[in-house]
Amino acid sequence: MRTLVAICAMSLLPMMSSLALAGKYNPVLKIGAAAPEWSGLEGIDGKQHALKDLADKDVVVVAFLCNSCEYAVDCEERLIALAKRFAEDGGRAALVAINPNQIEADSLEAMQERAKRQGFNFLYVHDGPEQSVTKSYGATYTPEFIVLDKNRQVVYLGTLDDSPDGKNVTKKYVEDAVAAALAGKKPETAETPAVGCAVRKVRVRRTKDD
């Protein structure tokens, strides 16, 4: 009986370990966690980008965005305004948007076209075919936001603000988290549930050997 209990306990360890890493709403990251590194992501500027390229920034906002979700589209103007504010405030903070989807509407070419048409003033990159960056950040929706402080630790996880369509905004969660991080403080609200479209997960075909 003791052996059976021990076996059951050992089988639960990986699951418990995984849950310990998760936040209130994020299945992978929690507040205070170190930001997963990423590199080699293709941007709309034709270059490859990495998180370490932003080493001179005191705060980095990672936004999982796409072209094909109306919720993501609805926040574009607010993101443009936010990036403009970052630049006007001395450029200590940066916004980078990562498109996790692999469908045609979210291809790099489509991203380039939309960014040009909408006047994006922030970095817009595409995750790889395995969606490894999206998975490492536990992003499950577009849009979804992670704010990183100077030490590249997570200080905020969740939605942009309290208005998915941008109307009647009363709480600017991401903006407040950035301001707090720049001041060396913790944001009043550190976690909120993301609101948007589910990330279009790439299906992995099984082989006969699986």
Is the CB of residue 121 less than 8 Å from the CB of residue 80? Answer: yes
User: How many Cα atoms occupy the beta-carbon half-sphere of 161 within 13 Å?
Assistant: 18
**Cα dihedral 64/36/50/205 (nearest 10):** -70
- In eight-state DSSP terms, residue 53 is G
Q: Which residues contact 55 (CB under 8 A, 6 or more apart)?
A: none
- Token pair 């590249």 is found at 152
pLDDT digits (tens, 9 = 90+) for 55-108: 999 999 999 999 999 999 999 999 999 999 999 999 999 999 999 999 999 999
Among the listed residues 74, 77, 63, the one whose alpha carbon sits nearest the alpha carbon of residue 118: 77
> Taking the domains of the chain in order of start, what are their residue ranges?
31-198
The three-state secondary structure class of 68 is: coil
pLDDT per residue as tens digits for the range 109-154: 999 999 999 999 999 999 999 999 999 999 999 999 999 999 999 9
Q: Give the pLDDT confidence of 2-49 residue by residue, as tens digits.
A: 333 333 333 333 333 344 558 899 999 999 999 999 999 999 999 999
Q: Please state, in angstroms and rounded to a whole number, the distance separating the CA atoms of residues 73 and 77.
A: 8
User: pTM for the full model?
Assistant: 0.88
CATH code: domain 31-198 is 3.40.30.10
Of the pLDDT bands very low, low, confident and very high (cuts 50, 70, 90), residue 54 is: very high
